[in-house]
Amino acid sequence: MTTTVLEPAIHGDRVSLLRVLGPAHVWALGVGIVLVGEFTGWNFSADKGGALAALIVCWIVGLLYTSVAMIDSEVTSTVAAAGGQYAQAKHIVGPLMAFNVALFLVFAYTMLEVSDAILLGDTIVAKAGVEGLTHNSFIAATIVVLAWLNYRGVLMTLNVNFVITAIAYVSIVILFFSVSPWTQGAVLKLNELVTPGNALPYGWIGVIAAFQFGIWYYLGIEGTTQAAEEVRSPARSLPYGTMAGMITLLIAAAMTWYVCASLMPWEYLGITYYPLWDAGKLTGSPLLENLLFIATLLAALASANGCINDAARAWFSLGRDRYLPSWFSAVHPKYRTPYRSILFLLPIALAFAFIADLNQAITFSILSGVLQYTFMSINIMMFRKKWPLGTIRRGYTHPFHPLPAIVLFCLCVVTFFAIFLGFGSQLIAMTIFYFLISLWFHFYRYKFVRRGDQFTMPWPKPQGY
């Protein structure tokens, strides 16, 4: 990848983020965050509803995320500012919504980073097979080293992500073609492992319950928009990078399900932390086993790396707009990164990596993600209503509006129900948290916000105001 233009982005007269990224970096950011979902997490949907349920939600949740990518591409290619959905909410719905959306982003990405670090630590411990060895030191090292990498610069961070994401992705393709996917019986035994008797062990309620972890196939692809202020051409790079990322992930998810469901019983598939690594082992090839072991580590690293990048930018945006203390809005004078935000979120990630287990951390992340997708479905309706087509210049206009928004909203409702089936109390607790922190913002913190400065796009006055 080449980056020739190192032109600083201007935000007022302050030192600001660098516009150095292209579509490949956007792809690497999105897929890098998400690809770990194929290496762990998606398979818990098999535990919830059986192997066939995992496939059904792979497709249906794929539809949810295709809607997310279409909506996001339109809004973000028009509202190109750091913070992604946060900047969208600020310009379309209002400051309180923006504050909440930024918190959704920070929670979703920080807890995803925590899940990645736990996965990485557990994978190394499982491979080492040394009695008494714990994952703690590996978790701490992962989080601290990646935070340092992010501190040093976005270009280096995303170049590293591009390489390790590509290696992890290629490993899935190699595994897929190594097991002769066109023939059953030699290596793959789908017919004997997924039978009419065990395909949906809990019936259709299991399929709905599986939505909770089905989200994990793709969670985080919307993170591409966080780079809006650091890409050279937002209108081109963001839609291309995001849609290419989504296509890449749909292919990876289908291949992953097919190979894993054809190699292990659903009861085991539903509980293992390393479905692809296990698939590599079950082929009997040491080469594939080692390749998938390394790819699991790389996928976890790429995801955690991208998550630190995105969470820090969302937190930075809150500080810059004075929604949180402006101390967080500092940009490093040499590396041009939101270094205080990176450092602030570091101990929070470390703390939860040590107190939560893998599926709890994943659920924390999913909860914030689904709240955010609910917002996005309503946000696009408001965007089209306040600025109908033709009133402002859009980088990209998504087709079939309002169908993607309606599909997205309905699937979010189903996913809330799925979360209720396993983590209802957690969902209530988190929503109450968001409600209380919203009261704090609306009645106290908002007084520090400069009203007119919240709208920075060169658009006409929204219709209805």
Site for another protein in 85-124 (CB under 8 A): 89, 93-98, 100, 107, 111
Pick out residues in 143-182 that bind another protein (CB under 8 A).
none
| Closest approach of another protein to the CB of residue 425, in Å | 4
Give the nearer residue to another protein in terms of CB position, either 99 or 396. Answer: 99
Judged by CB under 8 A, which stretch of 62-70, 290-298, 320-328, 388-396 contacts another protein?
320-328
Pick out residues in 187-216 that bind another protein (CB under 8 A).
189, 192-193, 195, 197-198, 201-202, 205-206, 209
Count residues binding another protein (CB under 8 A). 84
Give the nearer residue to another protein in terms of CB position, either 169 or 416. Answer: 416
| Closest approach of another protein to the CB of residue 340, in Å | 11
Helix (H) or strand (E) holding 45: helix 44-49
| Closest approach of another protein to the CB of residue 327, in Å | 6
Q: One-letter amino acid identity for 267? A: E
Give the nearer residue to another protein in terms of CB position, either 238 or 412. Answer: 412
Judged by CB under 8 A, which stretch of 63-71, 126-134, 242-250, 425-433 contacts another protein?
425-433
Give the nearer residue to another protein in terms of CB position, either 95 or 121. Answer: 95
- Tell me how many helices (H) and strands (E) the chain has: 17, 2
Max Cα separation, the chain?
68
User: 60 to each of 71, 135, 276, 366, how far by Cα in Å?
Assistant: 17, 35, 22, 16
Q: One-letter amino acid identity for 146? A: L
Helix (H) or strand (E) holding 303: helix 286-320
Pick out residues in 281-300 that bind another protein (CB under 8 A).
282
Which residues contact residue 461 at a Cβ distance below 8 angstroms, ignoring those fewer than 6 apart? none
Pick out residues in 428-447 that bind another protein (CB under 8 A).
428-438, 440, 442, 445-447
Q: Does 307 bind another protein (CB under 8 A)?
A: no
Q: What are φ and ψ of residue 14, in 5° steps?
A: -95, 160
Question: What is the pattern of x (binds another protein, CB under 8 A) and - over residues 336-375?
Answer: --------x---x--xx--xx--xx--xx---------x-
Residue 302 CB-half CA count within 13 A: 33
Give the nearer residue to another protein in terms of CB position, either 160 or 205. Answer: 205
Q: One-letter amino acid identity for 109? A: Y
What is the spatial distance between Cα 266 and Cα 263, in angstroms, rounded to a whole number?
Answer: 9
Identify the CA nearest to 86 among candidates 67, 70, 105, 73. Answer: 105
Chain centroid, CA 13 distance in Å = 32
What is the spatial distance between Cα 257 and Cα 172, in angstroms, rounded to a whole number?
Answer: 11
Give the nearer residue to another protein in terms of CB position, either 31 or 114. Answer: 114
Judged by CB under 8 A, which stretch of 32-40, 145-153, 329-337, 427-435 contacts another protein?
427-435
Pick out residues in 246-275 that bind another protein (CB under 8 A).
263-265, 267-268, 271
Give the nearer residue to another protein in terms of CB position, either 67 or 415. Answer: 415
Give the nearer residue to another protein in terms of CB position, either 97 or 118. Answer: 97
| Closest approach of another protein to the CB of residue 111, in Å | 8
What is the spatial distance between Cα 176 and Cα 259, in angstroms, rounded to a whole number?
Answer: 7
Query: Is residue 70 exposed (0-12), middle (13-18) or buried (19+ Cβ within 10 Å)?
Result: buried
What is the spatial distance between Cα 136 and Cα 121, in angstroms, rounded to a whole number?
Answer: 7
Q: Does 141 bind another protein (CB under 8 A)?
A: no
| Closest approach of another protein to the CB of residue 195, in Å | 8
User: 57 to each of 23, 84, 375, how far by Cα in Å?
Assistant: 29, 27, 21
Pick out residues in 32-61 that bind another protein (CB under 8 A).
47-48
| Closest approach of another protein to the CB of residue 99, in Å | 9
Is residue 377 within 8 A of residue 71, CB to CB? The reply is yes
What is the spatial distance between Cα 318 and Cα 87, in angstroms, rounded to a whole number?
Answer: 10
Q: Does 12 bind another protein (CB under 8 A)?
A: no
Which residues contact residue 59 at a Cβ distance below 8 angstroms, ignoring those fewer than 6 apart? none
What is the spatial distance between Cα 372 and Cα 204, in angstroms, rounded to a whole number?
Answer: 26
End-to-end CA distance of the chain: 45
Give the nearer residue to another protein in terms of CB position, either 202 or 397. Answer: 202
Residue 160 CB-half CA count within 13 A: 20
| Closest approach of another protein to the CB of residue 207, in Å | 11
| Closest approach of another protein to the CB of residue 352, in Å | 6
Q: Does 388 bind another protein (CB under 8 A)?
A: no
Give the nearer residue to another protein in terms of CB position, either 145 or 410. Answer: 410
Judged by CB under 8 A, which stretch of 14-22, 238-246, 249-257, 423-431 contacts another protein?
423-431
Give the nearer residue to another protein in terms of CB position, either 19 or 384. Answer: 384
Q: What are φ and ψ of residue 18, in 5° steps?
A: -90, 140
